[in-house]
Chain A
Amino acid sequence: MRKFNTQEGVVIPLDRANVDTDYIIPKQFLKSIKRTGFGVNLFDEHRYLDRGEPDTDNSQRPVNPDFVLNQLRYQNATILLARENFGCGSSREHAPWALDDYGIRVIIAPSFADIFFNNCFKNGLLPIVLNKDIVSKLFDAVEANVGYTLAVNLPAQTITTVDGEVIPFTVDEYKKHGLLNGLDEIGVTLQDAQTIENFEADWREKSPWYFSSGAESSGG
C-alpha cells in the first residue's frame, strides 16, 4: 500500500450530507474486476448530464457545469471537504478506489460511515473527522478563496491553513502506523499466525459445530 505522510493541496467542497457510496460510484461501474480506472466515473451521476456505462468514452459526455468537480478553481484538488455521514450505504471499496484514482488523498468531514472509513485506510487515503463548526468554517474559507489549500501532517496529526492556523485531529494508532508505513496488513497479521492457529484449535474444540462442512453433507 502507498504510504501517507503529509499532503498539501487544493480543497474541493462537496456541500451535501449523507453522501452515499452509490453517489460516489454508481453500480454499473462495480462490474469491473480491477481496482483501478474508477476516477473518471467518480460522482458520475452528478458530474455528467447523461448516464454512463463502463465502456462509454467519458471525454465525449456532456458535463454538468454546476458540479464542483467540473469547476476550474477546484481542478487538481487532493483534499475533499464533506458533510456528515460521508460514505454511508453500500460497503463497496470501489468508492475509495474512485476517490483515490481521481487524485483525492484526504477527506475531511464531521462524521463518516464506519465501513467507508475503514476502507479508506486500506487504500492509503486519510479520512479526518473534525468538529462540525470547524468543517463549516472551512467550507466558508474554501468558498471565499479561489485555490484554497490545506496542509495535512499525519505524524503531527495537524491540519495547517494558509493563515498558519493549526487544527489538530485524532487518528487510531494502528491505522496511523499502517498509513505512515504503507503496511501490507495481511503480512502483519500473518506474523501472528501461530496465535491464530492456537486460538482456532481451541475454538474448534469448544465449538466443533462451526467447523462442519455443509458442502459435504448436502452433496455439493
Chain B
Amino acid sequence: MAGQTLYDKIWESHLIKQVEGDTALIYIDRQLIHEVTSPQAFEGLRLAGRKPWRADANLATPDHNIPTTSQERRMGLEGIKDPVSRIQVQTLDDNCKEFGIFELGMNDPRQGIVHVIGPEQGATLPGMTIVCGDSHTSTHGALGTLSHGIGTSEVEHVLATQCLLQKKMKNMLVRVNGQLQEGVTAKDIVLAIIGKIGTAGGTGYTIEFGGEAIKALSVEGRMTVCNMAIEAGARAGLIAVDETTLDYLKGRPFAPAGEMWNRAVQVWLQLVSDDDAIFDQVVEMSAGDIEPQVTWGTSPEMVAPVSGRIPYPAAEKDPGKRGNMEQALKYMGLEAGMEIKDIHLDCIFIGSCTNSRIEDLREAAKVVAGKKVADEIELAMVVPGSGLVKAQAEAEGLDQVFKAAGLQWREPGCSMCLAMNADQLGPGKHCASTSNRNFEGRQGFRGRTHLVSPAMAAAAAIAGHFVDVRQSSQD
C-alpha cells in the first residue's frame, strides 16, 4: 500500500464519518473568530437556542475594522469613528461574553490579526484542524495543521457541533528545490508559484509545500507561503513539521508544557508525508531561478519578476485570458511592454496576515535604515500584525528606523490590506503592498495594488518606483 500524504494523515485522524457522497464530517480542534464573519453565526445560534459545543476551542479577536492610529486606539471602542464598524466590534465583544468565548479584545496587548496571533499564542498546534471565517486561514498550515477558510454558515456549524462538513480534497505537492538568492523571500516564492499554476491552479486541492527552499524558511516565512495558498485556489496549504516548527512553538501560552510537550512532540514529528506517498499532482520549482516578484494586474497570477516587463496581451493565445489582461491593464493605468521598474508609486503598505510578522518588519527596516522615503510617496505605513509583534519591533528599535525614514508606525490590525477601516488607498493611486490581493478596489475604491515582499516594498518606498532589492541593498 502506498504511503500517506501529510494531508491524508490529518484528514484521517479527524474523520468522524463519511456522510453521503463525497461529504464527510470532520472534527475541528480550533476555531478562530473575528468580528466580520461571525455576528450572523452567533445570531443563528441565538435564534435556534443553541450553545457552543466546546467554547474553549474558540479564540476571538477583532482585526478587520479597528483603527490603526494610536490616538484612536487609546479611546477604545469610541475611537472607531464609523458607527457601523463600531457596532460590529462591540457585537464581537458582546457575543464572546454571552457565549463564554475567550477574546483578545481591541486593546489587549496580545490582540492582532487573527492569523498572526493564532500561531503566536500557540493556539495553532501541529496536527490540528483549524477553521476561521476567513480565507487566509490557510496560513496556519505552516505549522503542519489542516486549516480551512470557511463561510459564516460554517462558522455557526462549527460553533454548534465542533465539526465541519467537508469533501476530501486532492493532494498537490509544490516542491521548491535548491536555495533562494539573497534578497528573495517567501513572498517571492509564493507569488512565483501562483504565477506558474494560476489563481485556480490549486482549486480542489490541498497544497503541500516542500523542498529544500521551503525547509530552509523560518515559520514566519512558511506562514507567508501557506497564507497565499488560497490565492492559488487551494483552501488549505501545509508544510511538514520539523525542528523549526517545534522551536517556534515551545513555551507559547496555548502550547503544552513539560511531559505533555514531550509526548506531543513524538506524535508531531510524524506529521510529514511518507516517502512513498502519492500526490495527484506535483509541481517542481527551482528556488535559484526565482527573482523578486511584482504583480502588475488585478489578479495575483498577473505577476512578473522585477527585471521583467508587463506582458503583451496580444501574445496571449487564450482569448479569455487576453481579455482579462487588457481589462487589468486598463484598470491599472499601465501599458503592455513597460518595465516593472518604471511603475511609479504613491503609497507603501507593509502589513497584513501575509507579511506583518517580526521577520517581515526586520527585512523592511534593514532596507530603509538611514534612508528617506521618496518625496512622491504620499503615504508609507507599517502596520504590525499583533501587539506582541509591535512590542518586539519597538524593543529592537525598528519603529525608530521606520519613523526616521518617514514611514508611519501604526497599531496592529488588517488595515489597508482590505481597507475596511479608515486606511484606504485613493482612486488611481499605485500602492506597493505586502498584502495578498490585488483585486480591483481591494485596498480602496479604484486603488491600484502591486503585491510584493516587505523588502521590495521598502526599497520602492525609498526609490518612489520599483527597484530590484538585490541591487538596492548593495548600494
Contacts and interface: CB of A to CB of B under 8 A. Distances in A.
A30 B21 CA distance: 33
Contacts of B27: 196, 199-200, 203
Contacts of B410: none
A186 B16 contact: no
A122 B153 contact: yes
Interface string B132-170: 011100000000000001111110110011110101000
A119 B27 CA distance: 19
B138 to A, nearest CB: 10
A212 B23 contact: no
A208 B260 contact: yes
Nearest to A15: B323
A32 B255 CA distance: 35
B385 interface: no
Contacts of A113: 200, 203, 233
B248 interface: no
B104 A220 contact: yes
Contact of B163 (A18, A22, A196): A196
Nearest to B131: A91
Contacts of B203: 85, 111, 113-114
A101 B211 CA distance: 46
Nearest to A210: B29
Contact of A215 (B102, B204, B419): B102
Contacts of A203: 13-14, 27
Contacts, number: 218
Nearest to A51: B445
Contacts of B252: 214
Contacts of A207: 127, 264, 267
B395 to A, nearest CB: 20
Given A91-B135, A115-B235, A196 B162 contact: yes
Contacts of A31: 36, 65, 82, 84-85, 87-88, 420
Contacts of B260: 208-209, 212
Interface stretch (A58-66, A140-148, A152-160, A173-181): A173-181
Nearest to A34: B40
A215 B117 CA distance: 13
A87 to B, nearest CB: 11
Given A22-B440, A174-B21, A45 B445 contact: yes
B123 interface: yes
Contact of B123 (A28, A196, A214): A214
B234 to A, nearest CB: 8
B137 to A, nearest CB: 8
Given A91-B150, A210-B125, A17 B25 contact: no
B254 interface: yes
Contacts of B327: 16
Interface size class of A (residues with CB under 8 A): 35 or more
B128 interface: yes
A33 interface: yes
Contacts of B53: 196
Contact of B125 (A23, A192, A209): A209
A22 B20 CA distance: 32
A5 interface: no
Interface in A161-201: 172-175, 177, 184-187, 189-190, 192-193, 195-196, 199-200
Interface of A: 16-18, 20, 22-23, 26-28, 30-35, 45, 51, 54-55, 83-85, 88-93, 96, 111, 113-115, 118-119, 122-123, 172-175, 177, 184-187, 189-190, 192-193, 195-196, 199-200, 203, 207-215, 217-218, 220
Given A91-B37, A113-B200, A186-B50, 12 more contacts: A23-B439, A23-B440, A27-B420, A30-B36, A45-B445, A90-B418, A91-B133, A190-B161, A196-B53, A203-B27, A214-B253, A218-B253
Interface of B: 13-14, 16-17, 19-23, 25, 27, 29-30, 36-37, 39-40, 43, 48, 50, 53-54, 56, 59, 64-65, 82, 84-85, 87-88, 91, 102, 104, 108, 110, 121-123, 125, 127-128, 133-135, 149-154, 156-157, 160-163, 165, 167, 199-200, 203-204, 230, 233, 235, 252-256, 260-261, 263-264, 267, 299, 320-321, 323-324, 327, 418-420, 437, 439-442, 445-446
